[in-house]
Amino acid sequence: MLFRQFFEPDTFTYTYLLGCERTRRAFLVDPVASEVEAYIRLLSEANLKLIYTLETHVHADHITGSGLLREKLGSKSVVHRDAGAMCADLLVTDGILLQVGDLEIEVRATPGHTAGCVSYVVGDRVFTGDSLLIGGCGRTDFQQGDAGLLYDSIHHKLFSLPADTLVFPGHDYQGHRVSTIAQEMETNERLGANKSRDEFLTIMKNLKLAYPKYIDQALPANQACGRPTLEVQG
Ligand SMILES: N[C@@H](CCC(=O)N[C@@H](CS)C(=O)NCC(=O)O)C(=O)O
Ligand SMILES: [Fe+2]
């Protein structure tokens, strides 16, 4: 398997490229609009065809590159049915399996940060978006966020994965690049060491985070796959 982690420093966003070496088919997880040319360059250098862009959710802090990549490369965008992005090509639900060459992708619904959050399991790794971050988790104070639901999603859908599963998050604000399920179960400040649901709810209620700087542009743009003006023009 070909694997690459990209970092967009303005919004601390991670994007992932996975490719099948045999068929040269590939997909991206959470592409960022401003980085599309870099993805296209790498795909071309590695002789890979982009099949899907997988969104873990409708992002509040940056604009997705899924619409631009669809226009430039013909890739299909994938998002959960409840995410609120009807511009996507495939609307998926919990348990759906997608195949890209020899790579199998399992969709696990992990709502809580938003109503339409999913994680994608590919072999020994899971792409958790903002559901489970390294040492933390996504906030739950907008986009139908629900801290109780997030606790249940993480416990039932992520902490049930094999302990050595690699955790690749949608963001990291401290420079961490990868974790494991075992590491998060032990050391995650909000969820680790068997923290109770009530303890988690109290932590989430008292976060007092600032309003994301790009949310007013990002949400409407991402509901149109990052291409709002084109959607209006039809
Ligand atoms: N300072 C960032 C914050 C972005 C933000 O709130 N990110 C969301 C994900 S969309 C989050 O859940 N962050 C978790 C945290 O900051 O602990 C901004 O203004 O864009
Ligand atoms: Fe988010």
Domains and CATH numbers, the chain: 2-233 (3.60.15.10)
Ligand 1, atom nearest to 138 Cα: 12
* Contact partners, residue 76, CB within 8 Å, separation at least 6: 51, 52, 53, 70, 89, 90
Q: Does this model's pTM top 0.75?
A: yes
Q: Is residue 11 lining ligand 1, measured as CB closer than 6 Å? A: yes
What DSSP designation does 224 have? T
Q: Give the type of residue at 165.
A: T
Q: Which numbered atom of ligand 1 lies nearest the CA of 11?
A: 20
Q: Is the CB of 208 under 6 A from ligand 1?
A: no
Instruction: Compute the C-alpha angle 112/147/177, nearest 5°.
Output: 65
Give residue 22 CA to ligand 1 midpoint distance, Å. Answer: 38
Locate the DSSP E strands across 9-153: 13-19, 25-29, 49-54, 76-80, 90-92, 97-100, 103-109, 118-122, 125-129, 132-133, 136-137
Nearest CA to ligand 1 atom 6: 212
Buried b (16+ CB within 10 A) or exposed e, 170-189: bbbeeeeeebbbebbbeebe
Q: How far is the CA of 61 from the centre of ligand 1 (A)?
A: 7
Atom of ligand 1 nearest to the CA of 170: 9
User: CB of 225 within 8 A of CB of 68?
Assistant: no
Q: Residue 78 pairs with which residues in a beta bridge? A: 54, 90
- Atom 19 (ligand 1) nearest CA: 212
Closest ligand to Cα 203:
1
Question: For strand 166-169 and strand 125-129, is the pairing parallel, antiparallel, or unpaired?
Answer: parallel
Q: Closest residue (by CA) to atom 12 of ligand 1?
A: 138
Residue nearest to atom 20 of ligand 1 (CA): 212
How confident is the prediction along the chain (234 residues), in pLDDT tens digits per residue?
Answer: 999 999 999 999 999 999 999 999 999 999 999 999 999 999 999 999 999 999 999 999 999 999 999 999 999 999 999 999 999 999 999 999 999 999 999 999 999 999 999 999 999 999 999 999 999 999 999 999 999 999 999 999 999 999 999 999 999 999 999 999 999 999 999 999 999 999 999 999 999 999 999 999 999 999 999 998 775 554
Whole-angstrom distance between the N-terminal and C-terminal Cα of the chain? Answer: 38
Please give the structure tokens belonging to residue 156.
Answer: 């039932």
Q: Is 222 helix (H, G, I), strand (E, B) or coil?
A: helix
| Residue listed under structure tokens 């003006």 | 229
